[in-house]
Amino acid sequence: MSTQNAVPLTPAEVEQLRTDLANLLRDHVCGNLVSAVFNQLSSNTGKKAFSADAMEIFNAVEKQGGFGRRTLVATAEGGSTVGNGNAFININFFVSPEPMISASNGRVILHELFHIGSGTNSDYSHFEMAQAAFDVAQAQGFTSLGVRPSGGDPGGHDRANSEIFNSILFRACHVR
Amino acid sequence: MTTAIITSFVCLVLMSPTLLPGKGLVKTGDVHVVNEGSQGNGPGIFEEYDETKNLQQRLDRLDGFAQFLKLNPSFQAYLISYGGRRVCRAEAFRRAQFAKNYLSKVKSIERNRITALDGGYLDEWGVQLWFGAQGEAPPTPRGITGRPMGQISKNCKPKRTKRKMHGS
């Protein structure tokens, strides 16, 4: 179980999240960016990603700490790392197959998979994620990215870099 | 018939007196930092639209956003409206207010859950639909504030939506 306060998601809910993720990754722009960001995180931070395939990380989380739901001052949270063997994700939203909602929920899950997708015992911070996403987006020809993230605060409270990461992720991964 | 009623209502919303500049638009300042839990997810973008999307495509996105907000009643909505290089006076404001009025008046989302934000200026105009959990600080717009990069046209009138009549 993920955390003491979380209610485990039903198998149907987990399956919907898996579909949300699969639908996003099926789009080659999204799929390419996501796998490249995992590789970039490995090289930028020295902390090797568990996999460059987000679906593999999703499946690992399912077998480890699992997926739960609890009230948060955030849309979702991820804890530990896949490398630790007890990674978990808790969500604070309801799943739906409606295409735009599915895409949005898939991006939130992706965000958390990035946090906990390290194959080491140390997770990826918002700053590390934003910087890696910026590097990849720039290399892949995305424009109007602004300046490369150059600072972050430790502890995962870094809102600015979280939003930069979410913005880049949205540009690659959305309903077309 | 239903389409005609909705289209008429959209026209009504567009011409509403609440569109007058100076009301309800929140200027944002510095980056917000909040305690959101160990590795939490801050506000996320649900969708966005710009000049490449026609009216129906814009409404489709707002409809999807409304559905999402109804599914998650504790979430807040943030409408960030950006002006482009060439803008009409208060154009970004009008777009933000249109989206807010559409969500509240047509889709029955409580107005106190919706915040319209002036995003500043980007190369092209656009409206982003963001969401955040209760208690989270709003997202930070990424546009340039102050003077636009290009020119402000004099009080150009917003385009009116053509009323389409459909037989039932």
> Cα separations (Å) of A114 from B19, B54, B136?
41, 34, 21
Chain A nearest-CA distance from B32, in A, is: 7
Whether B81 and B98 have beta carbons less than 8 Å apart is answered as: no
Closest residue by Cα to residue A96 from B57, B98, B30, B68: B68
Position B86 scores a pLDDT of 79
Q: What span, in angstroms and rounded, lies between the C-alpha atoms of B164 and B7? A: 7
Chain B nearest-CA distance from A60, in A, is: 18
Position B152 scores a pLDDT of 66
Position A168 scores a pLDDT of 97
**Is the pLDDT higher at A154 or at B31?**
A154
User: How far does chain A reach from its first CA to its final CA, in angstroms?
Assistant: 36
pLDDT tens across A23-75, in order?
A: 999 999 999 999 999 999 999 999 999 999 999 999 999 999 999 999 988 89
**Who contacts B168 (Cβ-Cβ below 8 Å, separation ≥6)?**
B1
Position B159 scores a pLDDT of 55
The pLDDT of A104-119, averaged and rounded, is 97
Question: A99 falls in which pLDDT band (50, 70, 90)?
Answer: very high
Q: Quick one: tokens of B17?
A: 């007196």
Q: What span, in angstroms and rounded, lies between the C-alpha atoms of B29 and B43? A: 16
Q: What span, in angstroms and rounded, lies between the C-alpha atoms of B76 and B44? A: 11
Position B149 scores a pLDDT of 57
Give the angle subtended at the CA of B60 by the CAs of B54 and B62, to the nearest 5°. Answer: 105
Q: Is A95 exposed, middle or buried (0-12, 13-18, 19+ CB in 10 A)?
A: buried
Position B3 scores a pLDDT of 53
The pLDDT of A145-155, averaged and rounded, is 78
Position B143 scores a pLDDT of 81
**B40 and A107 in contact by Cβ < 8 A?**
no
Please identify which residue in the block is written with the tokens 């309801």: A94
Chain B nearest-CA distance from A82, in A, is: 14
3-state SS class at B125: coil
CA atoms within 13 A on the CB side of B72: 29
Phi and psi dihedrals of A76, rounded to 5? -165, 165
**Is the pLDDT higher at A170 or at B3?**
A170
On chain A, the residues whose CB falls within 8 A of the CB of B36 are: 72-74, 156-157, 159
Position B154 scores a pLDDT of 57
**B36 and A107 in contact by Cβ < 8 A?**
no
ipTM: 0.94
Q: What span, in angstroms and rounded, lies between the C-alpha atoms of B102 and B7? A: 11
Within an 8 Å CB–CB cutoff, is residue B52 touching chain A? no
Q: Quick one: tokens of B28?
A: 């944002």
**Is the pLDDT higher at A5 or at B33?**
A5
Q: What is the pTM of this model?
A: 0.85
Position B121 scores a pLDDT of 87
Position B112 scores a pLDDT of 97
DSSP letters for A67-119: EEE---SSSEEEES-GGGT--EEEESS----SHHHHHHHHHHHHHHHHHH-BS
Whether B112 and B160 have beta carbons less than 8 Å apart is answered as: no
Chain B nearest-CA distance from A120, in A, is: 16
**A108 and B41 in contact by Cβ < 8 A?**
yes
Q: CB neighbours (10 Å) of residue B15?
A: 11
Identify the residue among A67, A89, A101 best suited for mutation to test binding to B, counting B beta carbons within 10 A and taking the highest.
A101
Q: Is the pLDDT of residue A106 over 60?
A: yes
The pLDDT of A113-128, averaged and rounded, is 95
Strand partners, B28: none
Identify the residue among A30, A88, A104, A175 best suited for mutation to test binding to B, counting B beta carbons within 10 A and taking the highest.
A104
**Who contacts A20 (Cβ-Cβ below 8 Å, separation ≥6)?**
A95, A102, A103, A105, A106, A109
pLDDT beneath 70: ranges in chain B = 1-39, 146-168
Position B120 scores a pLDDT of 87
Position B16 scores a pLDDT of 38
